[in-house]
């Protein structure tokens, strides 16, 4: 990919992953979606509580319009051509027969699961695009998410489409982005 330079020891699948907005409008077989979401479930989590739940709709199914309507208008404008919409929900508590306790890492763990979903999708020839442009506050009610769970984010899955299908201002941005250098994201010792 042009503009992307990484240590050659980094797995190519990781470097090649990026988040397009142009999708081709094709359907995703349930088997492929199941594989992507099962891969997400292999993420590490504190005490192995696996606090994530993936709510999804496939293009054209009975939930598609409901899921699409939970995105802000800007995201609806391009996500409508994706093959699947997935919402990542995390459980705020560690639940046991001895009672519930706060799960400090529920969001962190759900993020790890989303990353594995993105990589598995890439391995199967799909692209994903994560987003927090959701109608937070409304979406939880519309999707029946209980108060002790947190709607973290959403993501699309699909086959990459023609960038010409996007508005002009998005066509210019339809490229794989670069990354900050290691020196900007990793520090030995204290933060400051």
141-170: pLDDT as tens digits: 999 999 999 999 999 999 998 888 888 888
pLDDT at residue 175, as a whole number: 85
Burial (CB count within 10 angstroms: exposed 0-12, middle 13-18, buried 19+), residue 189: exposed
Residue 73 burial (CB < 10 Å; 0-12/13-18/19+)? exposed
Cβ atoms of residues 81 and 23 within 8 Å: yes
Distance CA(140)–CA(80), nearest Å, equals 20
Task: Round to whole Å and give the CA distance between 1 and 8.
Answer: 13
Residue 2 pLDDT exceeds 80: no
SS3 assignment, position 170: helix
pLDDT of 192 strictly over 90: no
């Amino acid at each position: 990919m042009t503009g992307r330079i990484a240590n050659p020891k980094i797995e190519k699948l990781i470097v090649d992953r990026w988040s397009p907005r142009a999708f081709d409008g094709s359907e995703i077989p349930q088997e492929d979606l199941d594989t992507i979401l099962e891969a997400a479930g292999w993420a590490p989590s504190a005490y192995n509580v696996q606090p994530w739940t993936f709510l999804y709709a496939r293009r054209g199914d009975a939930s598609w319009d409901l899921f699409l309507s939970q995105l802000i208008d800007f995201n609806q404008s391009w996500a409508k051509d994706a093959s699947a919409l997935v919402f990542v929900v995390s459980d705020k508590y560690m639940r046991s027969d001895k009672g519930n306790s706060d799960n400090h890492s529920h969001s962190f763990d759900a993020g790890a699961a989303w990353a594995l979903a993105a990589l598995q999708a890439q391995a199967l020839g799909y692209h994903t695009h994560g987003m927090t442009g959701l109608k937070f506050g409304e979406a939880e009610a519309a999707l029946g998410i209980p108060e002790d769970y947190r709607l973290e984010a959403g993501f699309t899955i699909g086959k990459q489409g023609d960038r010409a299908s996007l508005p002009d201002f998005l066509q210019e941005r339809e490229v794989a982005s670069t990354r900050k250098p290691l020196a900007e994201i990793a520090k030995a010792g204290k933060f400051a």
